[in-house]
Amino acid sequence: MPPIIEVRDLAKTYASGTVALTGVTLDIREGEILALLGPNGAGKTTFISILCGLVTPTGGHAAVGGHDIARDYRAARTLIGLVPQEIAVEPFETVMNTVRFSRGLHGRARDDAHLEQVLRSLTLWDKRDARLNELSGGMKRRVLIAKALSHGPRVLFLDEPTAGVDVTLRREMWAVVRDLRASGVTVILTTHYLEEAEEMADRIGIIDRGRLLLLEDKARLMHEFGRKRLTVELTDPLAALPDSLAGHGLTLSENGLRVSYDYDTRADRSGIARLLAGFAEEGIGVRDLETEQSSLEEVFLRLVEEGA
Amino acid sequence: MNGRAVKTIFDHEMARFWRTPWESLASPVVSTVLYFVVFGAAIGGRIPSVEGVSYGAFIVPGLIMLTVLQQSIANASFGIFFPKFAGTMYEILAAPMSFIEVVAGYVGAAALKSIIIAVVIHLTAMVFVDLPMAHPVWALGFLTLTAVSFSLFGFLMGLWAKDWQQLQFIPLMVVTPLVFLGGAFYSASMLPPFWQGVAHLNPVLYLISGFRWAYFGMADVPVGLSLAAVTVFLALGLTAVWAIFRTGWRLRA
């Protein structure tokens, strides 16, 4: 199946001289949830803005559904829904009217039955006649999603969808996104919350300083880049680590009962067997073993540091 | 051509007009009545007629032009400035529509609002004075071309403005003086020769003169010149919009 979005050498330097993107190339598969992670100013929003037509690229090209975003922008944009980072709504408009407006802008005939379905899925149906300035921040964010879905897009861009949203609403948003994926919509979201990417994404892209540092299946990313920590619980406390174990980079806890050992899952040998043999040789009794996978946050920070 | 999108913007703008009927329609009517009281009754009583037309009737075309220019600029500039201000511009930019279509939606609605207000003022004036119309088709033509041209200028101003003060600046500082000095309330022939020369440098004089000719068959300048002037305004507006379309000025980074 051809990718729903193809991006080749996409670059953007703003008139001020700020370099926001430098030669980003990637394919996005239809139906997946792709999370773009990156620190502030990494270029995530610029990337989304170019694909949606808000920003003109200074290099490279991109296509959505096989339609070039510049030459064939009408066909490309028809496939796209965008939920911006800022909560921006017309304050005096009603929910239903603003969603109808968005659908009309995409050249679609009025279809209130479809809009009812969209509003119900976002638990907004009861608020359809409410003015937008009467809604809470979370509700407004849902309205933005409803607007983006009003014309039935195949690709939905969510720029920081849960920024400033409480935990309950964040989980509800995740459920909405999962439902969208289940209905076949491709979702590209940017986020600061690593937990969000870890929770939802099929693939994760890490952007920093305008470069795509990595694009990987989440599970593989966790596997390949994850460090693990082995904690060995001892039967008797140690005053100090014996010299023969010095080469392993171990850390002894203050009470002398736990020894920690960090290892890389990508390495040919984890070193665990050698370590445990060393314990046996020194006559150190082992009560228990515990391993801990590093979180995506640690993976992310490490990649960004390495890329710097 | 995304005709449905153009209609969506057009309907959205017109809905705002009808949602606030007092601001949209009553205000221009009240202003017109006030002008009639001040200029028609108080001052006009001392000016029996201007070139055979009663003074009360004489000021009607100028009064309509004054309102059309102000309303066209105000409506179109507000129409495009508000999404910029509210942050909803992203939606317009991400829509599968060309810039020309966006302009057609906003400018079309702004121009129609002005034309509706012009008709209402005309009907209000008929309550006060006898209002003949020598060339109704020309009157509608001048009105439409002027409303569209100045709605285009308003749209450009709305794009240019970065805050509400800038949005008010040109209508207050440029348009209103030009209309008042463009013969809205007098014939240029009533001025001393030197000031007549100065008045002829004012482009708005040509619009008012042409529109007045459509009412009474009399004009400060030949009607061909008036037509040329309004065409130049339209061409300037279209050229500026085209330039923005090419460069994305104040729209796309």
Q: What pLDDT digit, counting tens, does each position of A68-95 carry?
A: 999 999 999 999 999 998 888 888 899 9
| Residue found by looking up tokens 């909803």 in the block | B88
Distance CA B241, CA A264 (A): 60
Q: pLDDT tens digits, residue range B128-160? A: 888 888 899 999 998 999 999 999 999 998 988
Residues B197-225, mean pLDDT to the nearest whole number: 86
Of the candidates B3, B95, B253, the beta carbon closest to that of A106 is on: B95
| A105-119, A243-257, B176-190: the lowest-pLDDT one | B176-190
DSSP state letter for A131: B
Instruction: List A residues 26-85 in contact with B (Cβ-Cβ < 8 A).
Output: 49, 52-56, 73-78, 80, 82, 84
- Do the Cβ atoms of B90 and A104 come within 8 Å? no
Per-residue pLDDT, A176:
83
Q: Is the pTM of this model over 0.90?
A: no
Distance CA A304, CA A19 (A): 17
User: Quick one: pLDDT band at residue B244, thresholds 50, 70, 90?
Assistant: confident
Is the pLDDT at B208 greater than 60? The verdict is yes
Per-residue pLDDT, A39:
81
Is the pLDDT at A308 greater than 60? The verdict is no
Residue percentage of chain B with pLDDT more than 90: 27
- Do the Cβ atoms of A90 and B248 come within 8 Å? no
- Do the Cβ atoms of A90 and B4 come within 8 Å? no
Tokens of B75: 């409506």
Per-residue pLDDT, A296:
66
CA distances from A277 to A239, A280, A283 (A): 20, 5, 10
Helix, strand or coil, per DSSP, at residue A186: strand
Tokens of B53: 């037309």
In this structure, how many other beta carbons lie within 10 angstroms of the beta carbon of residue B102? Answer: 23
Nearest C-alpha neighbor of A61 from the set A5, A2, A1, A4 = A5
B contact set with A (CB within 8 A) = 2-5, 7-9, 11-12, 15, 82-83, 86-88, 90-97, 248, 252-253
- Do the Cβ atoms of B86 and A91 come within 8 Å? yes
| Residue found by looking up tokens 């140690």 in the block | A238
Of the candidates A52, A55, A109, the beta carbon closest to that of B253 is on: A55
Using CA atoms of A144, A145, A151, A153 in order, give the dihedral in degrees to the nearest 10.
130
- CB contacts < 8 A (A, B): 75
User: Quick one: pLDDT band at residue B90, thresholds 50, 70, 90?
Assistant: very high
**For chain A, which domains are there?**
5-223 (3.40.50.300), 227-307 (3.30.70)
Per-residue pLDDT, A160:
87
Q: Which residues of A touch B3 (CB under 8 A)?
A: 107
Distance CA B79, CA B116 (A): 17
Helix, strand or coil, per DSSP, at residue A185: coil
Of the candidates A15, A53, A97, the beta carbon closest to that of B93 is on: A53
More confident residue, A165 or B196: B196
Distance CA B195, CA B122 (A): 29
- Do the Cβ atoms of B93 and A80 come within 8 Å? no
User: Quick one: pLDDT band at residue A5, thresholds 50, 70, 90?
Assistant: very high
b/e sequence B202-214, b meaning 16+ C-beta within 10 Å: bebbbbbbbbbbb
Residue of B nearest to A51 (CA): B94
User: Quick one: pLDDT band at residue A128, thresholds 50, 70, 90?
Assistant: very high
Per-residue pLDDT, B168:
84
Is the pLDDT at B104 greater than 80? The verdict is yes
User: Quick one: pLDDT band at residue A307, thresholds 50, 70, 90?
Assistant: low
Report chain B's C-alpha Rg in angstroms.
Answer: 19
User: Quick one: pLDDT band at residue B9, thresholds 50, 70, 90?
Assistant: very high
- Do the Cβ atoms of B86 and A75 come within 8 Å? no
Distance CA A208, CA A47 (A): 12
**CA-based nearest distance A153→chain B, Å:** 12
Q: Which residues of A touch B5 (CB under 8 A)?
A: 104-107
**CA-based nearest distance A50→chain B, Å:** 10
Of the candidates A56, A82, A97, the beta carbon closest to that of B90 is on: A82
User: Quick one: pLDDT band at residue B48, thresholds 50, 70, 90?
Assistant: confident
